[in-house]
Amino acid sequence: MKPEKEDHIYTLYEYRKVPNLPMKALTIFLTLLILVSKTLAQNNPVIVYSFANNFEDSIQKPEWMNPNTISLDEPNNRNHFSRMTAASPYSSGIEVEIPGDLRRTNFRISVQGIIRIANSNSNNQVVISISNGDSAIFWKGMHVPDSTGKINAWNPFIVSTLVPRSIPVKSKIKIFLWNSDGKDTADVDDLEIKFTEVAFPSFLPK
């Protein structure tokens, strides 16, 4: 008598190649897999904090710094924005502590808005600066890409970077634009800053 075959657990790839296994069972398996994935996503939502400013409010929120940079486009236009010049090279931006639910987690900071430059060779950067007390522990300047090459026109931009969970929980984060060459005027508007949880282990030591 031949020994009975051992039970075999098919992988999804093997399952699809076996002609005698019913297609209905495969459909049920895939449906259950999708339902489980959706349930896990609902039970573990991604944490997102968002700060936005179009500079139109007469009273700015306290987390937004450099309100003296807010300018009016034209008297009859009534479009407000934050202007960077040689004398005032930093735009309006935010200064906040790490949001509570993102402490001791990896998270991504993304910054988007529209920028208007007076010279195609101007060097503007989004700056993310993190300090703990009097100590600077993280600094990154990201060049604002020129998406259209048009001067004196509003161009959209978006940049982002990862922040590791090893950052001390009471750290303060400053995010703003910097006209780093200081030669030409640059304006920024419709600024939106997002902090988004990233679910993977940090590669930096705690």
For the chain, give every domain's residue range.
12-43, 48-197
Q: What is the mean pLDDT of the chain?
A: 81
- Evaluate whether 176 touches 69 at the Cβ level (below 8 Å): no
Q: What is the CA radius of gyration of the chain?
A: 25
Rounded distance, CA 186 to CA 119, Å? 9
pLDDT tens per residue, range 104-151: 999 999 999 999 998 888 889 999 999 999 899 999 999 997 666 688
Half-sphere exposure of 142 (CA within 13 A, CB side): 16
Q: pTM here?
A: 0.74
State which fold the 48-197 domain adopts: Jelly Rolls (2.60.120)
67 in Cβ contact with 55 (< 8 Å): no
Judged by DSSP in three states, 35 sits in helix
pLDDT digits (tens, 9 = 90+) for 30-83: 667 666 555 544 556 788 999 999 998 767 788 999 999 999 887 667 789 999
At 65, list the tokens.
């710094």
For residue 160, CA distances in Å to 35, 110, 127, 134, 140 come to 32, 4, 11, 25, 10
pLDDT above 50 (res 206): no
C-alpha count within 13 angstroms, C-beta hemisphere, residue 43: 6
